[in-house]
Each structure stands twice: as C-alpha cells, then as structure tokens.
Amino acid sequence: MKLGYAIGTKQQQKMVMSPERIQALNILQAGGAELGDYIKEELLTNPALEIAEPARELKPIKADDVKDHIAERQAAFEESMYDFLKSQLRLSFECEHKISIGEFIIDSIDPWGYLTMTECEMAKAMNEDRQSVAEVLSVIRQFDPPGIAATDLKDCVRRQLKQKGRLDRMTDKLVEYHLEDLAENRIEKISRDMGISIEAVKQSAELIKSINPKPGSIFAADSERAYIFPDVIVKKDDEGNLVVENDRTVIPSLCLSSYYEKLIRDESQDGVVMEYLSERIEAAIRLIRAIERREKTMMDITWEIIRFQEEFFKKGEKFLKPMTMGQIAESIGMAESTVSRAIRDKYIQCPCGVYKMRYFFSAGVENGSGEGVSAVSIKKYIAEMIEKEDGTKPLSDQKLALELGKMGMDISRRTVAKYREEMGIGSSSKRRKY
C-alpha cells in the first residue's frame, strides 16, 4: 500500500451564512437583557448609532416571580451566605489570626451550608493545630442560619433542635435511626420500632420537619436573584380586549446619527473617511433592521399564542391548551426552527403573571368533547385535588386518574404519577396524616 499526499478538487454543497444573517439570528434568539447589553456595546463602538427615545423606567420582575412551576421558590437574602457569615465572624473575634482561620472554615462550606472538610483536613491545609480550628468552628456553628457548618444531615438536624432546646433522648434516637422512615412517612413502622405511640411519633416528626435540612438554601444564587425583563406585555384594554406591546425597558429604539448622515453627504470628505463613515452607517442600519425584524417576529408569535390560548389569558392556567411550535410556525408562515429561536429565553407578562414563552407549548390529552387539555392544566387540576383531599385518606394516583376521567380527561395512573412527581408532590403514602 502506497501512502502519501495528493492535491485534488471535489464538489461539495455547503450552506454558508453571511455575517449579517448570523447577526440577525443571534439578535432573534437573544433575551431582552442580553440584547440590551449588546446594544450598549454597539452604541459605544459605532458612533453612527443613537438612541431615538429614552427607555421607559419600568420596575424589573424578580426571577422568583416567573411561573415556571406551581410551587414558588422561597424568598432569599440579597447578601451571599459567605458574606453574611464573615460579617458575623468579624463581630465575634478581634484576633486577626482567628478571623483568618474562620474565613478558611467559611470558605470550606458548600452552598447548602455543610462543611466539605473535616477539622483535621482544615487544620492540615492551614498548618494550624486542630484545637484552634475546633474553637473557631464551634463559634461559627452558633451563627445564623441555624445548622450552618454541620458535617451531615443528622448533625444539621441535631444542632438546630439543640438550639431550640428540643433535642431529647427520643428525638435524638429518631434522628439517628429513622430519618429515612420519616421522609417516607412510615409513622407506624417508627412507632413499632421505637415502642412509642403514633401520637408521640407525629409530634416529633412535625418538629423535625420544621427544621431546614439545607441552611444555605435561604441564600439565593446569583442566577436566582437575577431580574427578568419581559420581552412582550399582554394586557387588557378598557373594553376587556387583549392588547400586546413590546417592552422597551432594556431595548431602546435606535436611529442613525443625524450628524453622521450629514457628514456622509459632504462630498469634500477624504476617501478613507467616506469609507469609514459608510461602513459605520451600514452596520447601524443592519442592526436597526435586525432588531425591527426581531420585534415583528415576537409580535407575530405572541398574537398567535393569544389566538390559540385566549381562554388562558382571560381565565387562568387551568384553561391552557396543548400547542406545538409547528402549529404556530404554520400559522404565521415561518420555519419551526425560527419560532424555537425566537422564544428562547423570552418572557411574557400578562394578567395571570409572568411566564417563559416555552411554558405555552406543551402536550396534552383530549377531553370528552374532543378538545385538547394541556399537561399544565392537568397538573393544576391534580394539585387542586390533592390540596383539598382528606389528609387521613389521601387520594391515590389511581383515584386521581379516575377523578380526572370524570372531568373528561382520560389519562393513566402512570401519567398521573409522572405529573405529580414533576410537581414535587409526594405519593399518597407520604402525604398521609395520622
């Protein structure tokens, strides 16, 4: 076999996108805040661009207010957990050496509030004696939030119970041997194993369930503290009709600089200067047109969503219907991939709340009338039935499926279980109250 190199030609079909097309696609799929940052950069680098009108000063929406799920996240401190702990550390010690040890310990705590290193490992890493580390750690464990710097879940629960003055022998035994049973709501098993009444187990269980198993969770990550600026606002006019407008909070209207337009008409300008002016103005026009196309696409998609989901916007979440991107794309004469890009990381603010645009696209089932019912609506019905159930006789997945069937929604027990788990709701055995 002869090996070597050869030069030859080969025909090949390949789609190559122009820089303008790439820019347009990037602008289309950019979220509001991301596009706002991009525009700021362009305004700094392209003097031919100007803001046509000031952006409206609207109050941004916290990410926690976005209705992606039925359960809402817990409100969180703006300060980071590490800053909060270190501020307490400086109030507790004057000695810089102990503060230095404390800062190392705090930096060794994970986002949930647990230590990631043992006392010995920390002492070795700092080249300190273990006693000094233990003394500072003991003080840190008295800080807020309760349970901080625990070694594991049992240690975390015990420390919080002790701080409340509620750690007796029975509760300590329950924590040591039956935390998993408690999580699975096996009250009768715990009662038998520990030889105590169901009522006594219930009281201890309620106490333990009031403990925060992840002390650090009350501090939001940066992404959870982020603010959301809706890309589209849907509201009702005085006559109750739905109207749509683009949000201008972070995406200002742009125009060409009148000064640069005047300069390019001056024929006495140097050729190099004219070339530069022409390039800047053409770049500005491309950006303005790309943003205009993005806005038109967003408006077209939003109006189609409203047409499909009018009952949702007027009556609420239970009236959300199954809808696919293909349906919207066909209605507005657009490629499905374009719709997918356009709704990526976009939000709609409407009378019902603030929603990711992808929220409106979901599968579902047909009801007795042959109309579609979305998975989101079914979850809403399931959550409401569970909320109203008798805690001593919680509804099984089969019973929930039967009740949904009576409302014209024919879904299996397995699908009910899947939806229930997606909502973070436990099984009937876990929800049972004794």
What are the backbone dihedrals phi and psi of residue 112, each rounded to the nearest 5 degrees, phi first? -85, -10
Q: What is the pLDDT of residue 74?
A: 33
Q: What is the mean pLDDT of residues 339-346?
A: 87
56 confidence band (pLDDT: 50, 70, 90): very low
Whether this prediction's pTM lies above 0.75 is answered by no
Tell whether the model's pLDDT for residue 383 goes beyond 90: no
Q: What is the rounded CA–CA span in Å between residue 332 and residue 339?
A: 10
With a cut of 50, say whether residue 206 has pLDDT above it: yes
Higher pLDDT, 80 or 49: 49
On the question of pLDDT at 337 being above 60, the answer is yes
Examine the pLDDT at 66 and tell me if it is beyond 50.
no
Give the C-alpha separation, 416 to 385, whole Å: 12
**Confidence band for 71, pLDDT divided at 50, 70 and 90:** very low
Which residue, among 367, 432, 365, has the nearest Cα to 396 in the 3D structure? 432
User: Is the CB of residue 298 less than 8 Å from the CB of residue 347?
Assistant: no
User: For the ranges 200-214, 227-241, 283-297, which has the lowest average pLDDT?
Assistant: 227-241
- Comparing 63 with 342, the larger pLDDT belongs to 342
Q: Specify burial of residue 2 (Cβ count, 10 A radius: 0-12, 13-18, 19+).
A: exposed
Residue 80 to residue 154: CA distance in whole angstroms:
25
Highest mean pLDDT among 153-162, 231-240, 244-253, 359-368: 153-162
Q: What would the mean pLDDT of 98-120 be, rounded to a whole number?
A: 90
CB 55 within 8 A of CB 35: no
Q: Is the pLDDT of residue 77 over 50?
A: no
Q: What is the per-residue pLDDT for 73?
A: 28
Mean per-residue pLDDT for 334-343? 89
- Is residue 132 very low, low, confident or very high in pLDDT (cuts 50, 70, 90)? very high
Confidence of residue 286 (pLDDT cuts 50, 70, 90): very high
Q: What is the pLDDT of residue 70?
A: 26
Instruction: Supply the pLDDT for residue 249.
Output: 66
CA dist., res. 258 & res. 248, Å (int): 22
Q: What share of the chain is helix, strand, coil (3-state, %, to 5)?
A: 55, 10, 35
Q: Is the pLDDT of residue 11 over 50?
A: yes
pLDDT at 384 (0 to 100)? 85
Residues with Cβ within 8 Å of residue 41, at least 6 apart in sequence: none
The confidence score (pLDDT) of residue 367 equals 56
Query: SS3 sequence, 345-382?
Result: CCEEEECCEEEEHHHHCECEEECCCCCEEEHHHHHHHH
Task: Determine contact, residues 214/112, Cβ cutoff 8 Å.
Answer: yes
For residue 95, is pLDDT > 50? yes
What number is the average pLDDT over the span 25-34? 84
By DSSP bridging, strand 232-236 and strand 347-350 are parallel
Residue 7 confidence (pLDDT): 54
DSSP strands (E only) in 15-83: 49-51, 61-62
* pLDDT for residue 1 is more than 80: no
Res 223: pLDDT: 42
Q: What is the mean pLDDT of residues 332-337?
A: 90
pLDDT-based confidence at residue 271 (cuts at 50, 70, 90)? confident
Fold of 364-431: Arc Repressor Mutant, subunit A (1.10.10)
Tokens for 8? 């030859």
What's the whole-number average pLDDT of the chain? 80
The answer to which of 299-303, 337-341, 430-434 has the lowest mean pLDDT is 430-434
Q: Are strands 254-256 and 49-51 parallel, antiparallel or unpaired?
A: antiparallel
For residue 46, what are the contacts with CB-CB under 8 A and spacing of at least 6?
280, 283, 284, 287
Tell me whether the omega of the peptide bond preceding residue 47 falls within 30 degrees of 0, making it cis. no
What would the pLDDT profile of 304-315 be if each residue is shown by its tens digit? 999 988 888 888
At 140, the pLDDT band (50, 70, 90 cuts) reads very high
Per-residue pLDDT band at 301 (split at 50, 70, 90) = very high
pLDDT at 10 over 90: no
Best CA proximity match to 359, nearest among 223, 225, 232? 232
Predicted confidence band of residue 136 (pLDDT cuts 50, 70, 90): very high
